[in-house]
Structure 1
Amino acid sequence: MIIKKFKLTTIRTRIILLFIIVAIFQIAVTAVFAVTQLKPHITNTYIRHQSQMSKALFWQLINEKSKMENYSVNIIGDSEIQDFFHQANKRSKEEYTPGMTTNLRNRILSYTENDNMIKAIYLVDNNNLVYSNYMNRAVVNFINNKIDVAASQKGRPVWDTDYNGKDVIMYRAVNNTTTDLTKKVGAIFMVIDLKIFTDTLNRFSLDTNQKYVLLSKDERMKVGDLEALQVLGTSEEEFLYHNEEYLKNYNDNKDWAIFAWVNKSAVYRPVYVILRILLIEIMALMILTIGLIIFLSGRITKPIADISRAMRQMGKGNIGINIPVTSNDEFGGLAETMNRMSKRIEELVVKIKEDQRNLRSLELKAMQYQINPHFLYNTLDSVHMFARKNNDIQSSELVIALSNFFRISLNHGHEFIKLADEVQHAVYYLEIQNIRFRKEFEWKVLVEEGLENLSVLKFILQPLVENSLTHGIRNVTYKGRIWLKIYKNDSKIVFEIKDNGIGILPDRLEELRKSIEEEDKETDLNKGGFGMRNVHQRLKIFYGDEAGLHIDSEWEEGTTISFQIHYDMCISYNE
């Protein structure tokens, strides 16, 4: 019973199903948008903010680093400490007596009191004897292990966290600052509270998911999640750590580098919140709309049923059916449209029957045209044989040229022709006319090599050659000449037909240029331009406005007609 009630053949169930599909589609589009657009946007924004914070943090850490290194420089340059190193280096290990003078102790103490992050300062002479105001055995052991490292750096500071996890030790060699700056007199080790860096790192974290690692280039100083260093060295902005995806940012200078990274799930949390809200709103809207559709569908289906019955009658052939219009709403308008459509269909049926009769007549004429060319070839061949039999060579040549001329003209009904055949078609015409006018003119054809097999529009050269002959050199008293030149210029093929005829007067030339642009104007054939207009219009239709004819002429000097076709529009001809 339920299946029958909600079967998909009813309009109501189809509308409900359609809306459910639309709602699901909207949900899918929203989800895809969130994944493909919103998530990358938030990711890029977060990376940009992280980069800015990372740069500011790195600048702050470098300031702290520079401050401590400056303290060490001040200590090294202190005259009392330099004197201490000179005196200590004069004694041997056997003369070593632990402790320092009260003045020196107070001097060192003043540096530690100046910054509470400095826990202790240790001095080491060239005999590797250690002096301090606060002697610690663990520190002394560390110094004994690192004294060679300090000496190898030649005065450059070294930061090292390989101590107790709470402090960082900065150490460097001490050179003579009074007489010989290159002479090593000892080393200084400063025990610094690691909070100077960890507190700064925590202060700059965007949230609890933000992590940092501070690393020196020699990897002696490491602050942060040291386990993550195994994957942080990669150049990608994203990496996988403990089966979770992270976004990474990197800043460095010649000494230190800082890595900042955050869990991607924390970055995408706002996206998921927005997506859940949108889904709830769409679901609520879908439920409300389905209720309205169930209520309104009953009022909609009756007019549709009437229209459906009328259309079935039309399908059975009752085209003249008229649907009663019972309302002024969309369904009434639809009924009126159906009535107009029915009347229009009835008119089209009558017209189609008439067109079919005309088409049959055209097909019969086309069959006649297919017979006529064969009759023409056979007739011309008979005339040719008759002329040769009677030794009429000139008539024989004329018939052969005329036969070839018509054969190319027909071209099996094709609209396009091989360029070589189009040129030969014009040559056959010239041969016929040369026999007719007793060789009163001559011609020369120049076609650039490689263009012969291109496909071009048929009947674009012979009308122009005919124009040069008829209106250019027909009435001159000297030997007429026609030049046909075809060549490639950059991406275009250029066609030029030039004669040394009488030329065209300026007023007539301007009139001719305007005439070939007028599509429907009737032209007196005796004035010329009819064939040129035909070629001009066909060139523009098939190759674009730029392919139209260009006419240049000087009175009593001759005329040049040219046009250009893009090479890419002249594909190789395939018969």
Structure 2
Amino acid sequence: MSQSKIKINRPYPMRWKLFLWIAPFFLVTIAITGGFSYYIASKLVLNNVGQAQYNLAKTSLDQFDYIAQDAIDFSNYLFLSMHTQQLLATENDPVVRKDLFSSLSTLMVTRHSMQSVILYTLDPNNHQQPFAINHAGIASAIPFERFASSSLYQQTLKADGKPVWALMRAHETVFDGDRQTKIVLSKVVKDSSTLDPKGIVLLGFNESKLREQYMKTVGKDNQIYVIDQNGLILSASNQEWQHKNATELPFIDGYEALLHNEKLTHIDNKQWIVSHSSSNLTGWHVLVVQEKQQLLTELKQIQTITILIMVACFVVSLIITWIASSLITNPLKKLLRSMRRLQNGDFSQRVDFSGQDEIGRLGEGYNNMVIRIKDLIDEVYAMQLKQRNAELKTLQAQIHPHFLYNTLDMICWTAQQRGQKDISELVYSLSNLFRLSLSEGRDFITLEEELELIRSYLYLQKQRFKDRLHFEIHVPDEALALHVPKLLLQPLIENAVIHGIEPLHEHGFIQVTIQYSAQQLSIEVMDNGVGIQQERLHQINQALRQHSNLHRDQQSSAYFALTNVKERLIIIYGSDILFHITSTEGKGTLVSMTFPISEGGIQYG
């Protein structure tokens, strides 16, 4: 069972590892190169098409501007024409109408884009019929009363002489008998002397004629849209979009921003290529649109060639990888066979690798290693003997504290048997103090064990001072399981007893207060002893702040335990600790320390 399991879980040979690492690397490299090339080619095609579309949009808009400027010039001619001024000033004068007809007929012959002209009078006392003419001759128009009820009439008056462009479909036209959709220029004609509004001229352009002109230059895959300054589609290669709002187009987001951005030449869209041009003369916008997918079909040949190159390069990389891996792994196989014989105890093994490359140096190092191993066997054997002797001495050293514990326990039991309860408790406290102080060689003990140690110590001192010593310990239950350095509190308690309570001839009191919150442990040891002189207190606190020991002379040796505790805390928890002493002569001393501690209790800085 074990042999079959070893065969199944046997790791791949080095040759296969090299093969499985290098071959995919070549494949990924080729794929990235081919993909990047395809991306650059497609980006270049899209940019060229976008630029061509923009040129188309600009050319179409230039045509519209030419027609619009010609219409504006024509309306200005009507304002300056004597026949126009006479027609608006007289009522039903056949001679004036005939003269105006003759002059306008000549002009309209040279303007193939303009189909109709209508002139309405604004004089309420002039009841003549509107003057209308088209390429075929005299035409008819709807009465002024009907025209005055249209929104175009109100827009024209509000423009006060500026041209107003509008789209009129067949069912809302002002040209009687003409059912073609027209783009209309409407403008107020003023009196040449007083500049008072005298009439309204309407110039009509067949939308179909304009569409025929720009469709000559538009490819079959392109769509073109002519949009006025209010977002109304005046003309489109797809007539279904005519007279709709541009915000309904699927390839425009935020059309309001487009209306106010004349310099925007392209609109970002993932599915469409949208080129834009706008006119300063009319405020119109021209959009030329084409689907990107139609353009990317041209790149299929590049895509196919890229895939074929990737496959060919991948096959070549497999062959090269297999040969290269063989050149590397064959010497390693030879080395592996020699190592197996070495494992069986044959220290005569050597390998002969030619060359000064890494494999040659590996063989040379292996030969030196075999020689060195043979030399080290005796040294290792000698070291093992020394180690066994050291372990024996360690076991012998452990007998002494156990012998001490057992002896003290026997004395305690004997005292209990003889009714010496006080002696029994003293011996038990002393035994417990030794046991907790040693703690089986542990550096960290629980806070509960540390408090038990100082209780034993204070009990022994209380027997010494009788009623002169009292103590209290306040600690929350959740802090008892925390691990702290061994002998953290005992030096502070001993300091308080020896240097604070012992010189005091009155009742002495020691209070230990412990708090634990936000992973910080705060400890205060307070006594009502004789206190510390202020000059000496300043020296001690300064030494604690500088993390340095006081000089261990006769005067400062009593306080050496304080800096020792502080340095132990710094080594374990880092410098992020607080340690301070407050004291008043004749009233007592307070030692407080705060340091970070994790929930488990042990946290190294």
TM-score class, shorter: 0.5 to 0.7
User: What is the aligned partner in structure 2 of residue 312 from structure 1?
Assistant: 340
Aligned to 1:308, what secondary structure does the other structure show?
A: helix
> 1:310, CA displacement in angstroms?
0.7
> 1:334, CA displacement in angstroms?
1.4
| Counterpart check, 1:150 vs 2:152 | yes
> 1:536, CA displacement in angstroms?
3.9
1:82/1:176 contact within 8 Å kept: no
1:498/1:560 contact within 8 Å kept: yes
Aligned letter for 2:292? N
Deviations 1:430-458 (A, max 9, x none): 854762555767777777x8974885545
Cα distance in structure 2, aligned partners of 1:375 and 1:82: 139
Cα distance in structure 1, aligned partners of 2:108 and 2:84: 16
Aligned letter for 2:152? A
- Distance verdict in 2 for CA 1:169–1:415, change over 3 Å: farther
User: What is the aligned partner in structure 1 of residue 261 from structure 2?
Assistant: none
User: What is the aligned partner in structure 1 of residue 496 from structure 2?
Assistant: 469
> 1:321, CA displacement in angstroms?
3.9
- Distance verdict in 2 for CA 1:284–1:386, change over 3 Å: same
Percent identical across equivalent pairs?
A: 11
Cα distance in structure 1, aligned partners of 2:426 and 2:276: 89
Cα distance in structure 2, aligned partners of 1:41 and 1:467: 85
Cα distance in structure 2, aligned partners of 1:555 and 1:48: 90
Larger Rg: 2
1:463/1:532 contact within 8 Å kept: no
Cα distance in structure 2, aligned partners of 1:162 and 1:377: 119
User: What is the aligned partner in structure 1 of residue 234 from structure 2?
Assistant: 221
| Counterpart check, 1:337 vs 2:370 | no
Aligned letter for 2:183? I
Matches within 5 A, 1:76-115: 79=79, 100=97, 102=99
Cα distance in structure 1, aligned partners of 2:77 and 2:393: 113
Which stretch of structure 1 is more off in the superposition, 457-466 or 208-217?
A: 208-217
Deviations 1:444-489 (A, max 9, x none): 7777x8974885545485256337526863566486665646465x
| Counterpart check, 1:27 vs 2:27 | yes
Q: Which ranges in structure 1 are unaligned for 5 or more consecutive residues?
A: 1-12, 240-244
1:422/1:458 contact within 8 Å kept: no
Aligned to 1:169, what secondary structure does the other structure show?
A: strand
Aligned letter for 1:232? F
Cα distance in structure 1, aligned partners of 2:362 and 2:272: 59
2:15/2:326 contact within 8 Å kept: no
Within the candidate set 167, 180, 186, 1:160 is matched to: 167
Cα distance in structure 1, aligned partners of 2:139 and 2:452: 107
1:502/1:558 contact within 8 Å kept: no
2:473/2:513 contact within 8 Å kept: yes
User: What is the aligned partner in structure 1 of residue 6 from structure 2?
Assistant: none
User: What is the aligned partner in structure 2 of residue 263 from structure 1?
Assistant: 292
| Counterpart check, 1:169 vs 2:183 | yes
- Distance verdict in 2 for CA 1:391–1:382, change over 3 Å: closer
1:161/1:167 contact within 8 Å kept: yes
Number of aligned residue pairs: give it: 533
| Counterpart check, 1:232 vs 2:251 | yes
> 1:495, CA displacement in angstroms?
2.6
Aligned to 2:339, what secondary structure does the other structure show?
A: helix
1:117/1:193 contact within 8 Å kept: no
- Distance verdict in 2 for CA 1:137–1:90, change over 3 Å: closer
Cα distance in structure 2, aligned partners of 1:269 and 1:493: 71
Deviations 1:159-189 (A, max 9, x none): 439689x997144575989999999965634
Aligned letter for 1:28? V
2:168/2:182 contact within 8 Å kept: yes
2:87/2:97 contact within 8 Å kept: no
- Distance verdict in 2 for CA 1:34–1:286, change over 3 Å: closer
Deviations 1:478-533 (A, max 9, x none): 86665646465xx7736353656457455555556666699xx9999955546754
- Distance verdict in 2 for CA 1:365–1:336, change over 3 Å: farther
| Counterpart check, 1:188 vs 2:173 | no
Cα distance in structure 2, aligned partners of 1:181 and 1:472: 115
Aligned letter for 2:364? E
| Counterpart check, 1:131 vs 2:132 | yes
1:176/1:182 contact within 8 Å kept: yes
1:401/1:431 contact within 8 Å kept: no
User: What is the aligned partner in structure 1 of residue 593 from structure 2?
Assistant: 562
- Distance verdict in 2 for CA 1:299–1:494, change over 3 Å: closer
- Distance verdict in 2 for CA 1:218–1:469, change over 3 Å: same
2:482/2:599 contact within 8 Å kept: yes
User: What is the aligned partner in structure 2 of residue 4 from structure 1?
Assistant: none
Cα distance in structure 2, aligned partners of 1:376 and 1:110: 137
- Distance verdict in 2 for CA 1:290–1:121, change over 3 Å: same
1:417/1:456 contact within 8 Å kept: yes
Q: Structure 1-normalised TM-score?
A: 0.58
Q: Structure 2-normalised TM-score?
A: 0.56
Deviations 1:96-117 (A, max 9, x none): 989956458858987998x997
- Distance verdict in 2 for CA 1:530–1:255, change over 3 Å: farther
1:483/1:498 contact within 8 Å kept: yes
RMSD across aligned positions (CA): 7.3
Cα distance in structure 2, aligned partners of 1:231 and 1:459: 77
Cα distance in structure 2, aligned partners of 1:272 and 1:383: 105
> 1:66, CA displacement in angstroms?
12
Cα distance in structure 2, aligned partners of 1:76 and 1:238: 42
Aligned to 2:150, what secondary structure does the other structure show?
A: helix
> 1:407, CA displacement in angstroms?
7.2
- Distance verdict in 2 for CA 1:480–1:414, change over 3 Å: closer
Aligned letter for 2:493? E
User: What is the aligned partner in structure 2 of residue 3 from structure 1?
Assistant: none
Deviations 1:241-260 (A, max 9, x none): xxxx5466899999868575
> 1:263, CA displacement in angstroms?
0.9
Matches within 5 A, 1:496-511: 497=524, 499=526, 501-502=532-533, 504=536, 506=538
1:211/1:261 contact within 8 Å kept: yes
User: What is the aligned partner in structure 2 of residue 547 from structure 1?
Assistant: 576
1:34/1:271 contact within 8 Å kept: no
Matches within 5 A, 1:250-329: 258=287, 262-263=291-292, 266=295, 273=302, 280=309, 283=312, 287=316, 290=319, 294=323, 303-315=331-343, 317-318=344-345, 320-325=347-352, 327-329=354-356
Deviations 1:91-147 (A, max 9, x none): 7xxx7989956458858987998x997676544568995624646999979x99998
1:47/1:247 contact within 8 Å kept: no
Matches within 5 A, 1:193-208: none
Aligned to 1:131, what secondary structure does the other structure show?
A: strand
Cα distance in structure 1, aligned partners of 2:138 and 2:387: 114
Cα distance in structure 2, aligned partners of 1:411 and 1:326: 56
1:120/1:134 contact within 8 Å kept: yes
Cα distance in structure 1, aligned partners of 2:205 and 2:436: 106
Cα distance in structure 2, aligned partners of 1:36 and 1:230: 33
